[in-house]
Amino acid sequence: MKIFVTVKQVPDTSGKVAVKADGTLDRASMQTITNPDDLNAVEAALTLKDEYGYKVVAFCMGPPPAEPMLRELIAMGVDEAVLISGREFGGSDTYATSQIIAAAIDHYGIEEDDIILAGRQAIDGDTAQVGPQIAEKLGLPQITYAGDIKKEGNTLTVKRILEDGYMMIKVQTPCMITCIKELNTPRYMTVSGVLGAWEKPLTIYDYPTLQDHPLIDKSTIGLKGSPTNIYKSFTPPQKGVGTMLKGDGKDTTNELASILAAKHII
C-alpha cells in the first residue's frame, strides 16, 4: 500500500528572475524551491498516510543537489525518496521525462492499491504534461486538477475542478492523480522529522539502474530522445513607458477622461 509522489526542484519564478544576455536563464543566481503544486501532492499523500497507513515514496528527477529538498520532504513525513539522476536523462522534454519517471516507478514496483500523486504543473515550464504522460506510459487511469480526494477501499472519488464547475469521478487504484493548490495546505516539517531526515532511505536511480526497463531506450530519453526541441528562446519586449499624469485630484482624472474621449477610447 504505497503512494508515489512525483516532485520537482524548480527555480523560484515568483522571486527575482535573472536572464542572461543570450536569452537563457541565469539559474545560478536564482533560489530553488520545491515546486509549489508538488507540495500539495505531498500533503495529500501524507493525509492519506495518516488515515490509512500508506508508505509514501517521493520520486524526483534532477541533479544530485536535489537531495536536500528530498530530505525536507522526509522531514514532513515522506518515508522514502528516490532521486532519478543521470547524464543520460538530461535535456529531456515532457515526453522523455515521463518515460523515465514511469520506468522508475515501475522499477520500484506498483501494486493493486497504490496511488501516484503529482502536482498539477511545475512553475518553470507550466506544462502540466508529465503527470498524464506518466499515467499513459504506465497504462493507468488519470484524474487531473484534483480538488478533493476521498477513499473507500480501492476506490477513490475525486473532485476534478473545471473552469466552469467540477466533475465527480470514481476510479480504481492503481491510478494517477494531479493535485491543485486548492486541495490542501501543505504541512511544515516537524522537529523530529528534521532530526530523523538523514536516517531515512534515499536511493539514487541512475541510468544503469533503469537501462533494462522496456520504457528506457536511448532513442526515447534525454535530449536526443525528446520529440520537441527548443528552436529559439527570447525575452518578451518591454512595452514603452506611457504618460504619467501629474497629481491625484479631480483635475488629473478630468485630464485622463478627456484624453480617452479625444482618442475615442471611452
Q: Are 160 and 143 in contact (CB under 8 A)?
A: yes
Residue in 28, 51, 53, 162 binding another protein, rule: CB under 8 A: 162
Least distance in angstroms from the C-beta of 237 to another protein: 5
Closer to another protein by Cβ: residue 80 or 124:
124
Helix 130-138 vs helix 94-108: angle between axes, to the nearest 10 degrees?
A: 50
Least distance in angstroms from the C-beta of 200 to another protein: 32
Binding of another protein at residue 204 (CB under 8 A)? no
Closer to another protein by Cβ: residue 203 or 233:
233
Residue tagged 477501499 (cell numbers): 153
Residues ≥6 apart with Cβ < 8 Å to 6: 38, 41, 58, 59, 60, 101, 116, 117, 118, 119, 130, 131, 134
* Contact stretch for another protein (CB under 8 A) within 39-47, 57-65, 69-77, 249-257: 249-257
Picking from 116, 122, 120, 159, the residue whose alpha carbon sits closest to that of residue 139 is: 116
Using CB under 8 A as the binding criterion, the count of chain residues that bind another protein stands at 81
Q: Considering only residues 34 through 73, tell me which ones interact with another protein, judged by CB under 8 A.
A: none
Within 10 Å of residue 222's Cβ, how many Cβ atoms? 20
Binding of another protein at residue 190 (CB under 8 A)? no
Residue in 1, 128, 189, 194 binding another protein, rule: CB under 8 A: 128
Burial zone of 264 (CB within 10 Å; 0-12 exposed, 13-18 middle, 19+ buried): exposed
Least distance in angstroms from the C-beta of 99 to another protein: 8
Binding of another protein at residue 161 (CB under 8 A)? yes
CA distance 192 to 196: 6
Residue in 80, 90, 169, 189 binding another protein, rule: CB under 8 A: 169
The DSSP code sequence of 29-59 is GS-EEE-HHHHHHHHHHHHHHHHH--EEEEE
Binding of another protein at residue 98 (CB under 8 A)? yes
* Contact stretch for another protein (CB under 8 A) within 62-70, 111-119, 196-204, 228-236: 228-236
* Contact stretch for another protein (CB under 8 A) within 40-48, 168-176, 188-196, 199-207: 168-176
Q: Are 176 and 132 in contact (CB under 8 A)?
A: yes
